[in-house]
Structure formats: structure tokens, C-alpha cells
Structure 1
Amino acid sequence: MLSDLPFDLVDEILSRVPTKFLVRLRSTCKRWNSLFDNHRFSKKHFGNAIKQSMFILFSDLKFFTISCELQKPDCYNVSRCKISLKECICKGECKVFEILHCDGLLLGLTKCFELIVWNPCLKQTKLIEPHFHKLHTPTPGYAFGCDKKYGDRRYKILLFLVSGYSRKFCKKYLEVEIFDFTSNSWRVLNVKIDFLLVFPTRWVSLEGNSYWIGADENTHEGFIVRFDFSNEMFGRLSLPFLAYPCDEHLSLSVKNDRISILHQTSHSYSIEIWMTGSVIDGQELSWSKFMRVDDENFDIRFINPNFFIYDEENKMVVFSDEKSRNEYRVYHKYTEVYVEEVEDYKEPIIYNYVPSLVHIR
């Protein structure tokens, strides 16, 4: 029996069990339940769970987790599972119109201008009391990450306020505030913002830090903006090509410990995807070209592309595209894969999502 094995071996075995099955084991053994609440085990399990990732679709105030097995070129196994807030903790109507994630935790901004942090796997929620009037400002931008200085993961929320200059999808912000889960309070962050953010709520999270596509406010030349939640500082990282994000189409994605970027110019259907080596805090990124798509049947013109690399070895890429009302598609190489009809859908957003045992504190 599993309970007769050395506890270190039990730890190793359980750390490789998918989250949805692990949660069901909580009531079977007090010792296991205690283990699942351990920060070290949660971190170890999350590292293994990356290999079992799915993607999350957010569309028209509804969101779904979708497992998509693309094992053979013409054989697809797609399943959909709707996730919802069963017990709304909002003071108003709970309809989420923005959704972000970090370490398996979701951060949502609701129609009633409340911020909710939520772990769907553990069914835990936390209401973040914002400066109410500030969330009503035009195009607020925000991000979700964690401070790693103290060994455990102390979560924080970054909020951009007072939008200034704007060009197409590029926004200039003048003020930044940060919410610290430890103190349960907001404070103004005294940092210099000398860049534009492209689609401010479309960022990626890696090792607790947040990454955006950014542009120089004078030349409009593109780069990656990184915010380090440990030292609470912004930094610039260079792209593998010259680009002007206010006029071209770029998108970031994360696969394990690497960042990838999709690039499509405004005058071509061709796309390029580049991938970094392992991302290390404080260091410049090293890039290699992952793939280029030049195909007359690949006639997609992106505006704000959403994608992630499903299988690096076989060069499988998943991204969304609106072809018609009430359906979205996932592309494997150049083949359309109909996932499932989503009622009243608009502009779906997909993220590479990994369920986790991280507790909201």
C-alpha cells in the first residue's frame, strides 16, 4: 500500500499526480492532507504539473478549461470543462470581464469593479478591496505576481492608473500602485514609467514576474517590459528582431521556463515564432527562431494574437482566431481544429494554464 512506503517516496509519487485527482485524496489521509498544504510540496507539484498543462479560454464573461490532445496529425481529442465561481464573494453582480493568472491562481476584474483572486482547483477565493474610483479610470492595466525574496511566495497585484498618451493599442501610464497580500493593503509605487504598454492586460507570468510587449515612448521601437515583484522594479529586455508594436502584431507566451513571441507584420500573413533559453532573473534574453509559417492557406490576419506552444519537439502551436460568430478554432500547424461551440462568444483569449495547490492567503 502507498501508506506503507517511505514518506519521501510518497512525496515524490504524489507530486506527479495531476491536480484534479490529488484534490480528491485530501479526505483519505490526514498526513497527505497536511502534505498538500505544505508550501514546498505545492511548489514541487506545480513544477511537475507544467507538463500536464491545459489551456484556459476566456470569452464573453465565461471561462473554460480545455484539454486538447494532439497526438497524431489527423487525430484530435478535445474536452471542455466549464469553471465558475460557485460562491460569489463580490458585493455586486459577479461577471468577470478580464482574467489573468499566476501559479495556477486566477485574478479577475468583475463588472462591478471588484478584484477577485481565485483558485478553481481548491475552490478558494479572496476579494481585493481596490481604490474603487481608480478602477473606473479608462483602460486600467494590472498584473499578478509574487515576491520570492523570503523563500515562500508572497503574492502582489500591480495596478497601472491614469492613462495618458495612447496610440492604437499602446497605452502610456502615469501612476502605479501595488497590493501586497501580506499587509493586505495598497501603496503607491515610486517608479519611472518611460515606456508604452501594448495591450496592457495581455501579459505573461514566469517565475512570479510579469512580462509585456512594450514600446519606447519616443521612437515606438519594441522591447519586452519585465516587472520584478521581488525588487519592485521595471526592466527592458530586447526582442530578437526590430519591431514597432504600435503598428505590428506581437504576442507573448510561456512554456515551462521559457518565453516565446509571435510576430506578424502589418503587410504579411506570414508569422514567426521565437523562443528564449531558460529565463534567469536580471539577465538579458537569448533567442532562437522556433518556426516560421509561410503558407497560402494560412490566411489569418492577427490583431491581438493569442497562442502558446503545445509541443516543442513536434512544433505544434495552439492559437485562437474568430472565423464566425459562436465558434473559435485551434490551429495545429496549418489545420483547423474545431474545439466546441461557445455560445455568444467574442474575441476569445487563451492562456496556457496549469492548475495548482497554491493556497490564497
Structure 2
Amino acid sequence: MDEEKLPCELIEETLFRVPPKSLVRFRTVSKQWNSLFDDKTFINNHKMTYRFILATKSKFYSVSITPKIQVRELTLDIPYLESHTPKKLVDCNGFLLCGMDKGAVVWNPWLGQTRWIELNQPSLYFNGVGYEYGNRRLLESGYKTLVSYQKESDPTKTIWQIHDISSNELKDIVLESGGGSSSSSTTKEENNANIHGESVSLNGMLYWVASYQKNNSTLFLISFNFSKERFYKFSDLSCGENHHCDVLVLKVFKGDRFSLLKQYHLTKKIEIWVTKNKIIENRCCGDVEWMNFMEVSTPNLPDLVRPSYYIENKRLVVCSCDKTGQAWIYVMGDKKLITKVQIDSMVDPSPLHCTYFPSLVSVPRGQKEAALQV
């Protein structure tokens, strides 16, 4: 007799309940299962999927939104974690980069995997995780971080370095400006860039919202290319002139585009702008078209404080803190605020937070760890 096969719907329903660590091992069962685990719809429907990560001085939490808001404490497998204070939390396209006062952690919270990075250099700022374009083999040797620090002799200058996660080696790239490069191959525009907010990682490159130091009202995107080891002006932004108190947050949209949240300081109005087409590595300034995707305007909308957000089914979901430091979730749609929910009191005031979409990409190992694994 031919072996009976379970219906695809039943297989998926069963796998929705399997712990993420087991899903990684099940990739080798069949091509069908491997493709299923790369399907974002499958991951989004998994029972352990969440949308935000919060960090306090000593604890980390996940926040699920549907069907109801749930806050769960997460374990970060780092010895003596209580002696390290989180300074920043950045979503790096499948990983999280958690900058500490004495190093950083590359982390996949869904799989419970961590890689501790400690460099013998004071006051390093870890900007984000990327890789050389065309070299995304999802192996440990491909991933790098971009780090920076202020020059002691001239605090207005920033020194940039590339850190190889596998070898734990630092490489000077001789970049000495606030977001630009002092090399002869860099234009005057990039050299005078003033970076706003945290980086976004897409296709191995890092991106920031930036403006010109002499005219902060003109906004554009600046990118760092790990293959060419330099900054580029990527595209102009279509959201109009900027007030210095306006809120600007860049995110990845639909996995291959950008979205930009802008909240106007004076009116509290929110606009969401998205790129019309997929973003590719060699797209240059002038090729990127931005569209006004959504607007939310209501007298009850508060000032957003370092917000993180995502867009799903024409809804905008935002995590932000109020003036007292209490974290809130705001759900918006149809040009208005639909609901707001205070996050559970188990979370300390003024937590770091970021959006996180679970992935099955394993955290890069060091060379010694990889050798032991073999």
C-alpha cells in the first residue's frame, strides 16, 4: 500500500504548535517543510510569534498583540547579565542587536540563541548587523557589525570600524564624520550628513534617516555598504520639510521595502510613507519612489517617544512610552486611533523597545564555536 499522507492543512496546524528550536531541525525533513518555514505567513501564525521586544535594566520581555496583548519574560543566555546594562535595541532583519555598556549581544530571541561580543575598546557604539552583498549564505562567516566611537582629540569626529562577527576582528575604514566619510570617493553631501535615529538592516546594508548639518529640514536616506565599505546617499524623502522636534522612524515594510513614520510635533498628526517598489542593493538616488500610505490625525494622539512600529492589514501598531515612562501599545487605522493599551505593570518604566518579526536564521557563531560544532 502507498503510504498515506497527512493533509497539508493538518501538517501546518501541527507545526504551528512546535517550539521554534525544533522547527530549525525539521528543515531537513522535506523540501515542502523547508519552504513552509521560510513562509512569513506560517511564522506569523505560529503560537509563539510576537511583535515587540522590551528591555529593562535586568530583564527582557516579548509582547504579542493578537488575539490579545500578552507580555512574557524572556531568558537571555549571557553569564552575569545583571552586570551589563542594555543601552540600545535594534532589529537587524532577523536578529536583534542589543548594545550593552560593556559590549553587545547578537540575539535571535525566537530561537533563544545569543552571541556575546566584547571588544577591548571603550565606548564603542554598535550600529547594526549586515553582510557583504551577494554573500548571504546565512553562514557565520558572512555577518558583520558596524561600530563607531568619538575621537578623543576631537569629540565632533566619529571613527567607524567594521567588526567581523565570526573572527571577532575589527577593521578601520577611516571614516571620520557624523555619518559621512572623509575618503575622496565620498561626495560632499554624504560627508555633511547628520544621522537621525537607529539603523535599519536590509539586504545586508544599513540605512538611516539623515539630513544636512547646515539644513536639518531636508531629509534623505543614507546607507552603508559592507562590500564597498563606505556610505552612500540612497534616496531623497518625500515627507516634506522637517521640524527638529518631529518624530522620524524608518522600518522595513513587507520584508523588501521601506516605511517611514513621521509624527509632526505641532499637530501630532502621523504620516506613513512607503517605497513603491522592492529595494535592491544597486538602486541609487532618483530610482526610489515614495508613496503616502496612511495618515492618522486625532486630538487624543500623544507625543510618541522613541516609538517602534509595524504595519499589518492596513493597521499601524505602535509601541511608545508616555511622559512618565510607562509603555503603551497604540493601534491605529482608518485615519484614527482605534485603541490604546498600557503594557503590563511587570515591565519597569522607560524600557528600551523595538519591533521584532521572528525568524529561523541562526545566530552567527565564532570560529572556535564553529570548529567545535564540526
TM norm structure 2: 0.74
The answer to whether the Cα contact below 8 Å between 2:20 and 2:111 also exists between their aligned partners in 1 is no
Provide the residue aligned with 2:144 in structure 1.
Answer: 156
Which of residues 289, 300, 306 is equivalent to 2:308?
A: 306
State how far apart, in whole Å, the 2-side matches of 1:43 and 1:127 are: 30
What aligned pairs does 1:314-329 form with structure 2 within 5 A after superposition? 315-323=314-322, 325=324, 327-329=326-328
- The structure-2 alpha-carbon separation of the partners of 1:45 and 1:244, relative to structure 1 and needing over 3 Å to count, comes to same
Alignment match, 1:83: 74
Q: For residues 99 and 86 of structure 1, what CA distance do their matches in structure 2 show?
A: 16
Percentage of pairs with the same residue: 22
Q: Contact between 1:215 and 1:244, CA under 8 Å: does it hold in 2?
A: no
The number of residues matched between the two structures is: 326
For residue 241 of structure 2, the aligned residue among 235, 240, 243 is: 243
Which residue identity lines up with residue 81 of structure 1 in the other structure?
A: R
**1:117 deviation in Å?**
1.9
Are residues 59 and 183 of structure 1, via their aligned partners in 2, closer, same or farther at CA, if it must alter by over 3 Å?
closer
Q: State which drifts further: 152-161 or 317-326.
A: 317-326
Which residue among 12, 22, 38 is the counterpart of 1:45?
Answer: 38
Please give the alpha-carbon distance, in whole angstroms, between the structure 1 residues aligned to 2:35 and 2:162: 25
1:68-217 pair list within 5 angstroms:
68-69=65-66, 77-88=68-79, 93-111=83-101, 113-135=102-124, 140=125, 142-153=127-138, 154-162=142-150, 173-191=157-175, 192-193=180-181, 194=191, 195-199=193-197, 202-217=198-213
RMSD value, Cα: 3.6
Where does residue 344 of structure 2 map in the other structure? 340
5+ residue gaps, structure 1, are 70-75, 165-170
* Aligned partner of residue 204 in structure 1, secondary structure: strand
Give 3-state SS (helix, strand or coil) of 2:71's partner. strand
Distance 1:33 1:43 in 2: 9
Write out the 4+ residue segments of structure 1 that deviate beyond 4 Å after TM superposition: 3-6, 16-20, 33-36, 40-44, 46-53
How many Å apart are 1:316 and its aligned residue? 0.9
What is the rounded CA distance, in whole Å, between the counterparts of 1:94 and 1:20 in structure 2? 32
Say if 1:42 and 1:51 are closer, same or farther in 2 by CA, change over 3 A.
same
Cα distance in 2 for residues equivalent to 1:129 and 1:43? 36
Q: Distance between the aligned counterparts of 1:182 and 1:108, measured in 2? A: 17
Equivalent-residue separation in structure 2 for 1:87 and 1:105 (angstroms): 16
Confirm or deny: 8 A CA contact 1:275 1:290 kept in the other structure.
yes
Distance 1:317 1:240 in 2: 20
| Closer, same or farther: CA 173–82 of 1 in aligned 2, 3 Å | farther
Q: 1:354, 1:344 → 2: CA distance?
A: 24
The separation in 1 between residues aligned to 2:103 and 2:250, in whole angstroms, is 27
Asked if the contact 1:142–1:159 (Cα under 8 Å) also holds between the matched residues in 2, the reply is yes
Displacement, 1:152?
0.7
Output one character per residue of 1:170-194: Cα deviation in whole Å (capped at 9) or x when no partner: x965321011134431001134431
Q: 1:25: how far off?
A: 5.6
Q: Partners in 2 of 1:317 and 1:323 — Cα distance? A: 18
